[in-house]
Amino acid sequence: MIRYFNKSFKAALDGFRETIISEKSFKTMLVIGALVVAAMLYFPTSRLEKVVLLLSVFSVLILELINSAVERIMDVVTTERDERIRVIKDLMAAIVLLASFGSSVVGILIFYPYFLELFK
């Protein structure tokens, strides 16, 4: 049981490492997520604000991982130009874009009062 867990954990870390190495957009989102966490720790955010911010950050990162996986699956399905695959990839990108936009709104709503206070 422990050996299976270790093997699964290693596979997950390998996938995470592969994503960081090969997916520029994931790296960008990871940096933005780290900045959000740093701001969350710097400002006196409430426990609820911290939870909402972390859920937002992890949601975007998870959706970007899913997007990357779907894109790679589609690339295995065919290397030729296929309109249906283009639509699938565009839909996945739209999902990540919408989540990113929503997370940005959440971040602005939470951090705006703290930045106002900081620059008073």
Question: What is the model's pTM?
Answer: 0.89
Please give the pLDDT value at position 110. Answer: 97
Please give the pLDDT value at position 68. Answer: 94
Q: Which amino acid is at 29?
A: M
Q: How far apart are CA 35 and CA 96, in angstroms?
A: 19
Q: Where are the alpha helices (DSSP H) in 1-82?
A: 2-22, 24-42, 47-77
Please give the pLDDT value at position 120. Answer: 81
Token pair 């999902």 is found at 95
Q: Would you write out the chain's pLDDT as a tens digit for each of its 120 residues?
A: 778 788 888 999 999 999 999 999 999 999 999 999 999 999 999 999 999 999 999 999 999 999 999 999 999 988 888 899 999 999 999 999 999 999 999 999 999 999 998 888
Architecture of domain 2-118: Orthogonal Bundle (1.10)
Token pair 């950050």 is found at 57
Please give the pLDDT value at position 80. Answer: 86
CB 59 within 8 A of CB 45: no
Q: How far apart are CA 119 and CA 109, in angstroms?
A: 16
